[in-house]
Amino acid sequence: MVQATVGVTGLAVMGRNLARNFARHGHPVAVHNRTAGRTRALVDEFGDEGTFLPAETPEAFVASLERPRKIIVMVKAGAPTDAVIEEFAPLLDPGDILVDGGNAFFLDTRRREAALRQREVRFVGTGVSGGEEGALNGPSIMPGGPREAYAELGPLLESVAASVDGTPCCTHVGEEGAGHFVKMVHNGIEYADMQLIAESYDLLRHAAGLEPPEIAEVFRTWNDGRLESYLIEITAQILDHVDPATGQPFVDVVLDRAEQKGTGRWTVQNALDLGVPVPGIAEAVFARSVSGHTGLRAAAAGLPGPDPDAAPVLDLVGAVERALYASKIVAYAQGFHQIEAGAAEYGWDVDAGALATIWRGGCIIRARFLDRIRAAYEADPHLPTLLTDTGFADALGGAQDDWRRVVAAAARAGVPAPGFAGALAYYDALRAARLPAALTQAQRDYFGAHTYRRTDRGGVFHTRWAQDGAEEETG
Ligand code: 6PG
């Protein structure tokens, strides 16, 4: 009897497509779903794509797998994941590998891995990016969990991952929760990237006065250059799309409220805990939040803005391209900073260059740009920030005049551009010789005796502001 080399439980669109991907690559795949109808539908519709071993019960599913078993759980993150683990764990043997391919919160993954370790089941929290199309044709896969589990699981996952220049977009990114952590930050970067693209569109439309098909053409041109990426490519297609029902540009008939399932918010919450500045990601999360506050927006809609008949800003296209590229460097620099800080905090060994390598294909943020990041970390694995890589520093230097012009043009035209403005502020803050944090610290000392350090000598000081104004050394 044929035994399955891998099993997939949870056959909604992501699980179903991943199972088909395994089957198409010649792996006999066991398939199971809580409601058996989905399992039958998968085999009826796609059974000729490879060897599927459908199972109606968890027991039959587990029995159809070769050992050590490799089971991929593709259910909605949260309580459903715990329910599946509870159902399957008693059926597994020591050494079996349980993979969670959902968008789980990484602290849940740590907890689950620790619990399953008691049963000697190896739990591998894995980021999977690329949406339903990626799951079918090659996603970017970010497994965490025990390194020795990857030795057995890796070849299987690598065989179905996307591949760029012959390198699979899958690697062991780090121990235990590291896989879901980096997927979380990937999504945070995805939010920032999308926000910057949205601001570029808004500027070209409302400051430069271009129409959606013209902007689509601009994006298509950009996609032939250093900004080449999946997100730029789909943006051009969306802007070209005409709504069949109304004949209007499609972008004009979509309600301007961006939703979120929450991974971007988690990224920012975690960055706050780690003390890592990720304003690019935070601005993107908040921009979605602002868009959803329709009551607030309606109340403020009458507030004065700049002259609506002001002449369009000329020659903005090239400047926006440079501002977008520079802001994108900043957003990725912030994301990689968070990954580095997370790895240090949670004790994982994460290789930033390897991560950039597996994000080059399959995932939502796939881009030519990732190859530049890979090269930057190859040149210096201990790069303090992507901004100081020679190539990126040159690009930032070359962009900065236009970047400032774009932020100014946005302010003048009343186009909200928090991503561009925030990225520029981050750049200026990092390169500043002196920050006004000196004044902030002095204020803290004034009202709360929180002390300060001096530029000219060591020690900790307090000035007796309310008494004699004299300085005392406190430590
Ligand atoms: C991916 C995507 C995927 C999903 C996001 C959308 O990498 O394939 O990130 O995980 O599209 O969860 O997130 P929001 O609903 O929060 O925008």
190-245 residue pLDDT tens: 999 999 999 999 999 999 999 999 999 999 999 999 999 999 999 999 999 999 99
Mean pLDDT to the nearest integer, 290-309? 96
Residues linked to residue 320 through DSSP beta bridges, in sequence order: none
The helix (H) or strand (E) run that includes residue 116 is helix 106-118
Closest to 323 measured CA to CA, from 400, 390, 394: 400
Nearest CA to ligand 1 atom 4: 131
Q: Please give the mean pLDDT across all residues of the chain.
A: 97
For residue 265, the ligand 1 atom closest to its alpha carbon is 16
The SS3 call for residue 107 is helix
Collapsed DSSP state (helix, strand, coil) of residue 88: helix
**Rounded to two decimals, what is the model's pTM?**
0.96
- Indicate which residue of 113, 176, 190, 199 is catalytic: 190
Widest distance between CA atoms in the chain: 90
Q: What are the start-end ranges of the E strands in 328-405? A: none
Query: At 143, phi and psi to the nearest 5?
Result: -80, 140
Among 336, 335, 263, 332, smallest CA distance to 102 is for 263
pLDDT level of residue 76 (50, 70, 90 thresholds): very high
Question: Which of 395, 416, 397, 398 lies closest to 407, judged by CA?
Answer: 416
Q: Determine which helix (DSSP H) or strand (DSSP E) holds 101, and give its type and residue range.
A: none
Q: Which residues of 361-375 are buried (b: 16+ CB within 10 A; e: fewer)?
A: bbbbbbbebbebbbe
Rounded distance, CA 93 to CA 53, Å?
Answer: 20
Residue with tokens 């990689």: 336
Angle in degrees, CA 103, 107, 113, rounded to 5:
90
What pLDDT score was predicted for residue 351?
96
What integer pLDDT is reported at residue 61 of this predicted model? 98
* Ligand 1 binding pocket mutation candidate from 76, 190, 260, 289 (most atoms within 8 A of CB): 190
Report the share of the chain in percent with pLDDT over 70.
Answer: 100
Mutate to test the pocket of ligand 1, among 76, 103, 281 (most ligand atoms within 8 A of CB): 103
- Closest alpha carbon to 26 in 44, 4, 1: 4
In contact, 6 and 124? CB cutoff 8 Å: no
Contact 346, 275 (CB under 8 A): no
Helix (H, G, I), strand (E, B) or coil at 6: strand
Residue minimizing CA distance to atom 11 of ligand 1: 131
Residue with tokens 């939703």: 259
Q: Is the pLDDT of residue 1 over 90?
A: no
Indicate if the pLDDT at residue 151 is higher than 90.
yes
**Predicted pLDDT of residue 313:** 87
The protein residue with its alpha carbon nearest to ligand 1, atom 10, reads 129
Bridge partners for 473 per DSSP: 461
Catalytic residue among 70, 113, 183, 328: 183
**21 has a pLDDT exceeding 90:** yes
Query: How much distance in Å is there from the Cα of 393 to the middle of ligand 1?
Result: 30
**Which pLDDT belongs to residue 314?**
86
Q: Ligand 1: distance of its center to the CA of 3 in Å? A: 33
Query: Per-residue pLDDT tens for 418-456?
Result: 999 999 999 999 999 999 999 999 999 999 999 999 999
- Calculate how far, in angstroms, residue 187's C-alpha sits from the geometric centre of ligand 1: 6
The count of residues in the chain is 475
Quick one: average pLDDT of 149-162? 97
Question: What is the three-class DSSP state of 277?
Answer: coil
Q: Report the candidate in 187, 160, 157, 185 with the shortest Cα–Cα distance to residue 172.
A: 157
- What's the CA-to-centroid distance between 93 and ligand 1, angstroms? 33
Nearest residue (CA) to ligand 1, atom 1: 129
Whose C-alpha lies nearest to ligand 1, atom 17? 260
3-state secondary structure 401-415: HHHHHHHHHHHHHCC
Q: Report d(CA 129, CA 188) in Å as an integer.
A: 13
Exposed, middle or buried: residue 33 (CB in 10 Å: 0-12, 13-18, 19+)?
buried
Per residue in 362-419, pLDDT (tens digit) is: 999 999 999 999 999 999 999 999 999 999 999 999 999 999 999 999 999 999 999 9
| Rounded Cα distance, 423 and 327, in Å | 5
Confidence at residue 308, expressed as pLDDT on a 0 to 100 scale: 85
- Check residue 384 and give its pLDDT: 96
- Told to judge if 183 belongs to the known catalytic residues of this protein, a careful annotator would answer yes
Q: Tell me the mean pLDDT in the region 322-348.
A: 98
**What are the pocket residues of ligand 1 if the criterion is a CB atom closer than 6 Å to any ligand atom?**
103, 129-131, 187, 190, 260-264, 363-364
